[in-house]
Copies of this chain bind each other. A is one copy, B any other.
Amino acid sequence: MTTQWYVGVDLGGTTIKLAFVDSYGDIVYKGEVPTNTDNEGSEITTDIAKWIDQSLVHLGESKDRLHSIGMGAPGFINMETGYIYQAVNIGWKNFHLKDRLEMDAGLPVIVDNDANIAALGEMWRGAGDGAKNLLCVTLGTGVGGGIIANGNILHGVNGMAGEIGHITAVPEDGYPCNCGKTGCLETVSSATGIARIAKELVTDFPNSLLANEYKKEDKMTAKIVFEAAENNDECALLVVNKVTYYLGFALANLANAFNPEKIVVGGGVSKAGETLIKPLEKAFQQFALPRVAEGASIVVATLGNDAGVIGGAWLAKTQK
């Protein structure tokens, strides 16, 4: 008998990433289709089913080749029933995702949060390197997270576990966050937060490299901050130190409670590599218990855009 493949699906606000993944986590075939948010996202499950069928034809394979679908979606999800309470960017509200996709695709479906399946992907085939106690933090426009303990994603009592971005990193006089609180990690360690801090600090350093780049680009981004920091620009280094201080504080506090083996940092900001990781490690060690710091290594995510589909496949492979 030929081995079966798993379908990994990673739904984002702009595109749906899809892949056939073998039982070792290798991507056999992958693609993406635009996310159609018309009619409250009612075409999405059909679009996924069509991609699957067309890809099978293209590969000359039959449906029997596929075992099941593991899918990540944004928003508030009931993981057990695959029911979406709300996914603002997609247009879904009270949407039976699992049931609809099972009907459209004719395969069993398991659904989880998009940040969680990315964490599973990194655990299985990425920077997690098989570590079963793993903390994943994604530094993008916002800050997302997934926590894996003993190989299982933590969901908590109502699916909110892993909301690392809303840990309070600045207890006093913090910046307002979209969530309604102030001083959330997201306000200081997301790409948006980094740019905001840089804009504040750069006014004191009008002749810095960062100030020049800011003028040239006509906008402040995390990217130009880290580039200037790599060139030892004093102002940029101050920004990076501030950002990593807060991130190290939040991650160390989590690590003291959860004792992970790996802390995987992903998202656009993680492209800064060692310029981010080195000062982050320093701050982390300041706030983590020595035995906890010894046990944990901080690494950059390696799967990039494939983390979600590979994690989705893991979910499908291990579903009970």
Q: Tell me which residues across on chain B come within 8 A of A158, comparing CB atoms.
A: 259, 291, 294-295
With A157-B261, A181-B289, A259-B161 known to touch, is A171 a contact of B168 (CB < 8 Å)? Answer: no
- Name the B residues within 8 Å of A131 (CB-CB): 157
Given contacts A160-B259, A249-B171, A260-B157, is CB(A166)–CB(B295) below 8 Å?
Answer: no
Shortest CB–CB separation between residue A197 and chain B, in angstroms? 17
One of A7-15, A58-66, A146-154, A309-317 at the interface: A146-154
Q: Which residue of B lies closest to A155 (CB)?
A: B259
Q: Does A163 contact B (CB under 8 A)?
A: yes
Chain B's closest residue to A291 (CB) is B160
Chain B residue with Cβ nearest A290: B180
Interface stretch, picked from A26-34, A43-51, A220-228, A250-258, is A250-258
Q: How many residues of A contact B (CB 8 A)?
A: 46
| Contact between B289 and A166, CB atoms less than 8 A apart | yes
- Which residues from chain B contact A252 at a C-beta distance below 8 Å? 168
Within 8 A of B (CB), among A270-320: 286-287, 289-292, 294-296
For A150, what are the chain B residues with a Cβ–Cβ distance below 8 Å?
152, 154-155
**A194 at interface (Cβ–Cβ under 8 A)?**
no
Of residues 64 through 120 on chain A, the ones whose CB sits less than 8 Å from some CB of chain B are: 76
Q: Is the CB of A161 within 8 A of B295?
A: no
Q: What distance in Å separates the Cβ of A72 from its nearest Cβ neighbour in chain B? A: 18
Contact yes or no, A249 B296, CB < 8 A: no
Query: Which of B163, B250, B259, B290 lies in contact with A289, CB distance below 8 A?
Result: B163
* A289→B160 contact, CB < 8 A: yes
A195 to B286 CA separation, bound complex (whole angstroms): 26
Is A121 an interface residue, CB under 8 A from the partner?
no
Q: Does A229 touch B at the CB level, under 8 Å?
A: no
Q: What separation, in Å, do the CA atoms of A76 and B290 have in the docked complex?
A: 13
Contact of A156 among B287, B290, B295 (CB under 8 A): B295
What are 18 residue pairs bridging A and B, where the CB atoms are less than 8 Å apart in the complex? Answer: A133-B156, A147-B258, A150-B152, A150-B154, A154-B259, A156-B259, A157-B259, A157-B260, A158-B259, A160-B256, A161-B259, A163-B257, A164-B256, A166-B289, A168-B252, A171-B287, A180-B290, A253-B254
Chain A contact residues, CB within 8 Å of chain B: 76, 131, 133, 145, 147, 149-150, 152, 154-164, 166-168, 171, 179-181, 249-250, 252-254, 256-261, 286-287, 289-292, 294-296
